Amino acid sequence: MSETVVLDPTRLVIAALVGLALLLVLIIKFKIHAMISILIGAITIGLVAGMPFSEIVLAVNDGIGNTLKGIALLVGLGSMFGAILEASGGAQTLAVTMVRKFGDEKAAWALGLTGLVIAMPVFFDAGLIILIPLAFSLAKKTKRSTLFYVIPLLAGLAVGHAFIPPTPGPVLVATMLNVDLGWVILVGILCGTVAMIVAGPIWGSICGKKYMVPVPEHVANQEDFDESKLPKFGTIVLIILIPLVLIILKSLAGVVPAMAPVASIFTFLGEPFVALLIATVVAMFVLGTKHGYSLEELEKIMTKSLEPTGLILLVTACGGVLRYVLQYSGLGDLIGNAVASINMPIVVVAFVVAALVRICVGSSTVAMTMAAGIIAAMPGIADLSPLYLACTVAAVAGGATVCSHFNDSGFWLVKSLVGIDEKTTLKTWTIMETLVGVTGFVVAFIISCFV
């Protein structure tokens, strides 16, 4: 801070309540865009708390700049990487091959794993639209309820979307908490795999037996995939693994003595934007030009993929503003001291805050953004171990996933695609999302207890 200002604790609490309440009212009641709402809420906190105008402006500038510099390239590169994977048919390749290897009886497990992998580079909505025809095809073939296959697919997509970089959510939280993405990937895979199993094949089997949902009429007569036009399974797996392996190797290079001679190389190659750049370039040529796309066509595909990233980046940047207002006003210290006094672990606080915002607002991105901002502003966060911080990231992801209901666009997308009513969607999709979030959090909490 440019000035030393001691603000009254009572006034700080009132400021936080007023600002956060205003933020929620603007989003929920008046349907004001999340970016505008978060920005207004953050500035209101600063004004009510009595921060000097110069400090509020500084918090806004620092929040925007410091947040975007950590994620802008990653979100952009990740979107282009996912778009190439989507356009080439790579997602279908993974799904079809996994189902064939697992067999019809265990196809639900194959769809769950495929969804988990695909949602890392591909946005949730796109992954669902691409892969749900395969779930319908299996349901038609086996004469089972579509939920038997759709729920595992949804669970896998939800896990990949929430827990495992390079998807934007965990990248955002990791950036705000300043934790190495390698640890986030490792913890995210552990938490996500368990969550996918519980919320996917297990819950999907229960839903499939309880609710007989037929294949929607508009897809019942669709032809199956033409597998001859799809890229090879091994190629897709290797390309998706490129950024994950490089980022993990960077993390290991810093702690494994045997890797010391090549640590600087892996530190560079494992820098997230370098790892994603390498993967994107490889995908351009292996999945793009070698599969008949011209460079001009690829340029159009990649440019179009950047359209939704503006919203993500701006909402995220405003979340950074909230974080810095809380930090510069002293609210972060106040919250931290309150948490310390009730002896509640940071991991639990992270989950609860994200879950409350998720339930109120509906958007997992907003929930992650706000929770990460509040946690990052607390004192002592920088002193926590990378592994504990990675567990905190997973806890935020879990909280931001639970209780999807009427205020979440995902709820309506699933309802319309699967062809079920609101009541059934609540009893299947909403419970599945809650199982994903709670299970992932529980695994993260268990890991954090041993750190």
| Rounded-to-10 torsion of CA 35, 40, 45, 49 | 150
pLDDT for residue 451 is more than 90: no
Q: Which residue has the higher pLDDT, 256 or 158?
A: 158
Q: Kind and range of the H or E element at 193?
A: helix 181-197
Res. 378 pLDDT band, cuts 50 70 90: confident
Res. 154 pLDDT band, cuts 50 70 90: very high
pLDDT tens-place string over residues 101-148 = 888 789 999 999 999 998 888 878 888 888 888 888 888 888 899 999
The answer to whether 308 touches 79, Cβ cutoff 8 Å, is yes
- What integer pLDDT is reported at residue 228 of this predicted model? 62
Instruction: Give me the percent of the chain exceeding a pLDDT of 70.
Output: 95
Strand, coil or helix: 111? helix
- What integer pLDDT is reported at residue 344 of this predicted model? 84
- The angle at the Cα of 415, spanning 120 to 314, to the nearest 5 degrees, equals 45
For the chain, count helices (H), then strands (E): 23, 0
The answer to whether 84 touches 41, Cβ cutoff 8 Å, is no
Alpha helices of 294-430 — where are they, by DSSP H? 295-305, 309-329, 331-341, 346-361, 364-376, 386-399, 409-418, 422-425
Count CB atoms within 10 A of the CB of residue 245.
Answer: 17
- What integer pLDDT is reported at residue 86 of this predicted model? 83
Q: What is the pTM of this model?
A: 0.85
- The angle at the Cα of 229, spanning 228 to 234, to the nearest 5 degrees, equals 80
Domain limits, the chain: 9-449
Separation of CA 429 from chain center:
17
Q: How far is CA 76 from CA 70, 81, 302, 310, 319, in A?
A: 12, 9, 9, 9, 18
pLDDT tens-place string over residues 300-348 = 999 998 887 887 788 878 888 888 888 888 887 787 777 767 778 999 9
Q: How far is CA 303 from CA 82, 152, 324, in A?
A: 12, 31, 32
Q: Which residue has the tokens 């892996």?
A: 266
Q: Which residue has the tokens 């038997």?
A: 148
Paired tokens of 347: 């991991």
Distance, CA of 331 to CA of 278 (rounded, Å): 41
- The angle at the Cα of 52, spanning 48 to 54, to the nearest 5 degrees, equals 130
- The angle at the Cα of 369, spanning 128 to 339, to the nearest 5 degrees, equals 125
DSSP-assigned letters across all residues of 330-368: THHHHHHHHHHHTT--HHHHHHHHHHHHHHHH--HHHHH
- The angle at the Cα of 363, spanning 361 to 369, to the nearest 5 degrees, equals 95
Closest CA to 78 of 313, 413, 250: 313
Strand, coil or helix: 255? coil
The answer to whether 372 touches 319, Cβ cutoff 8 Å, is yes
Averaged over 156-162, what is the pLDDT? 93
Res. 227 pLDDT band, cuts 50 70 90: low
Report the mean per-residue pLDDT for the chain.
87
pLDDT for residue 18 is more than 70: yes
Q: Which residue has the higher pLDDT, 413 or 223?
A: 413
| Rounded-to-10 torsion of CA 191, 194, 196, 197 | 180
Instruction: Give me the percent of the chain exceeding a pLDDT of 90.
Output: 40
The answer to whether 85 touches 236, Cβ cutoff 8 Å, is yes
Q: Which residue has the higher pLDDT, 47 or 251?
A: 47
Q: Kind and range of the H or E element at 439?
A: helix 431-449
Q: Taking the chain, what is the end-to-end CA distance rounded to the nearest angstrom?
A: 33
Closest CA to 405 of 104, 76, 28, 126: 28
Residues across the chain: 451
Distance, CA of 163 to CA of 397 (rounded, Å): 6
pLDDT tens-place string over residues 228-274 = 667 888 899 899 999 999 999 888 887 778 887 888 898 999 888 99
pLDDT tens-place string over residues 51-72 = 999 999 999 999 888 888 878 8
- What integer pLDDT is reported at residue 78 of this predicted model? 86
Averaged over 196-204, what is the pLDDT? 96
Closest CA to 169 of 193, 192, 200, 153: 192
Paired tokens of 414: 């699933």
Q: Kind and range of the H or E element at 94?
A: helix 90-102
